[in-house]
Amino acid sequence: MQFSTRFFALACTLIVLLCGAAPARAEKLTLMAGGTSKIVYLPLILASQLGYFKDEGLEFEILSQPAGVDTATELLAGAIQGAVGFYDHTIDLQSRGKDVEALVVFSKSAGLVELVSKKSSAGFNTMADAKGKTLGVTGLGSSTNFLTHYLAARAGLSPKEYSVLPVGSDESFFAAMDQGRIDAGMIEEPGASRLLASGGAKVLVDMRSTAGTVAALGGPYVGPCFYAERSWVNKHPDEAQKVVRAMVRSLAFIANHSAEEITAKVPRDFYGPDKALYISALKSSMPMFTKDGRMPDGTPAAVLKVLTLANPSIDPRHIDLSRTYTNEFVDRVQIGPQ
């Protein structure tokens, strides 16, 4: 009986130790993007689809909003831990007293294109011709809104000489153009290719490539990135590093695979009935992605210059660009072939 009692005690101890050694439950984080099906946000989706977040022990929920400004709002409200949106939001938010920094840069170009509706195309050949027109943006305060104002100002137009209408993206954008509520508008891929293939629009300003971005804006511009409040990053450096590692792995996957192989990994509803069109749009978009997530040298200053002209309320003297991004986390990532 004494042996049995000791054996039972040892067995109980072993069970406790084994239970204690069980893997900890994955950490739950919530991210949001301004339209997850847009090709510019592909690194976020691939990190989920390829299991990279799971590899880091992260349980992830990914939410989608039609415009990046809505994503920034949710971040500041504490509803999400991180946002995937355009880098220019970090500067705009700092001008309003919010301390936000980009940790991974997805794109070396704006990844956007200004399209003119077929119904309004006569005599509408440059941004200078936007005088008296209505221009569509995803949302007021969005990156498309910033860049629309900049392109118009660079063409010599004041904000009083044209109208801006928030119409969202994808289907709502297509409807606004088809119904004649907007004469032109700014959109990403694959929506741009869908509209062009239908014959419903023509290209006015093309910023989908790095060269096109420089030509349109007069300098470099980065598009989507992963950004978060500095206070969250400082309190959760391990979680931040895990998120960054997963996203850098996604960028490496894009760099080392064909458009066809990448398309096979995204949800079917991202490309819908025209898979070939999506592959074509992705193939032309792939050169815009960074390979390592680092902020390109000199780009923050160029983005600030654009925002200063687009929004006079942003005073460059009060902006500390060093606090709007960091390469610290991406520089720690070392990965092999994906």
Percent of the chain with pLDDT over 70: 89
Q: What pTM does this model have? A: 0.87
Measured CA to CA, the distance from residue 171 to residue 149 in angstroms comes to: 23
pLDDT of residue 60: 79
Determine the length of the chain: 338
CA angle 13, 15, 16 (to 5 degrees): 65
pLDDT digits 0-9 by tens, 307-338: 999 988 899 999 999 999 999 999 999 876 65
- Region 188-195: mean pLDDT is 95
Evaluate whether 79 touches 30 at the Cβ level (below 8 Å): yes
For domain 27-109+222-332, the CATH superfamily is Periplasmic binding protein-like II (3.40.190.10)
Mean of the per-residue pLDDT values of the chain: 88
- Region 213-218: mean pLDDT is 96
Measured CA to CA, the distance from residue 115 to residue 123 in angstroms comes to: 14
Report whether pLDDT(17) > 50: no
Binned at pLDDT 50, 70 and 90, residue 36 comes out as confident
pLDDT of residue 1: 36
Q: What is the DSSP string of 137-191?
A: ESSTTSHHHHHHHHHHHHTT--GGGSEEEE--STHHHHHHHHTTS-SEEEE-TTH
pLDDT of residue 83: 87
If we measure between CA atoms, which residue out of 325, 329, 323 comes closest to residue 239? Answer: 329
pLDDT digits 0-9 by tens, 51-110: 999 999 988 788 876 655 667 777 777 778 888 999 999 999 999 899 999 999 999 999
Q: What is the DSSP string of 273-328?
A: T-HHHHHHHHHHHGGGB-SS-PPPTTHHHHHHHHHHHH-TT--GGG--GGGSB--T
- Region 249-278: mean pLDDT is 95
Measured CA to CA, the distance from residue 158 to residue 288 in angstroms comes to: 31
Buried b (16+ CB within 10 A) or exposed e, 240-266: bbbbbbbbbbbbbbbeebebeebbeeb
Beta-bridged to residue 30, according to DSSP, are 61
Q: Hey, is 130 helix, strand or coil?
A: helix
pLDDT of residue 27: 63
Report whether pLDDT(23) > 70: no
Delimit the CATH 3.40.190.10 region(s) of the chain: 27-109+222-332, 112-207
Q: What is the DSSP string of 20-79?
A: HTSPPPPEEEEEEES-TTSGGGHHHHHHHHTTHHHHTTEEEEEEE-SSHHHHHHHHHTTS
Evaluate whether 177 touches 200 at the Cβ level (below 8 Å): yes
- Region 183-192: mean pLDDT is 96
pLDDT digits 0-9 by tens, 200-211: 999 999 999 999
Per the listing, tokens 């690194």 go with: 43
pLDDT of residue 335: 78
Report whether pLDDT(153) > 60: yes
Percent of the chain with pLDDT over 90: 74
Q: What is the largest CA-CA distance in the chain?
A: 99
Cα dihedral across residues 196, 200, 206, 208: positive or negative: negative
Evaluate whether 188 touches 111 at the Cβ level (below 8 Å): yes
Evaluate whether 167 touches 95 at the Cβ level (below 8 Å): no
Residues 6+ apart with CB under 8 A from 171: none
pLDDT of residue 81: 83
Report whether pLDDT(5) > 50: no
For domain 112-207, the CATH superfamily is Periplasmic binding protein-like II (3.40.190.10)
**Candidate from 12-16, 182-186, 218-222, 317-321 with smallest mean pLDDT:** 12-16
- Region 155-178: mean pLDDT is 94
**Candidate from 5-9, 150-154, 256-260 with smallest mean pLDDT:** 5-9
pLDDT of residue 14: 31
pLDDT of residue 292: 95
Measured distance between the N- and C-terminal CA atoms of the chain, rounded to whole angstroms: 59
Report whether pLDDT(278) > 90: yes
**Candidate from 7-21, 62-76, 106-120, 142-156 with smallest mean pLDDT:** 7-21
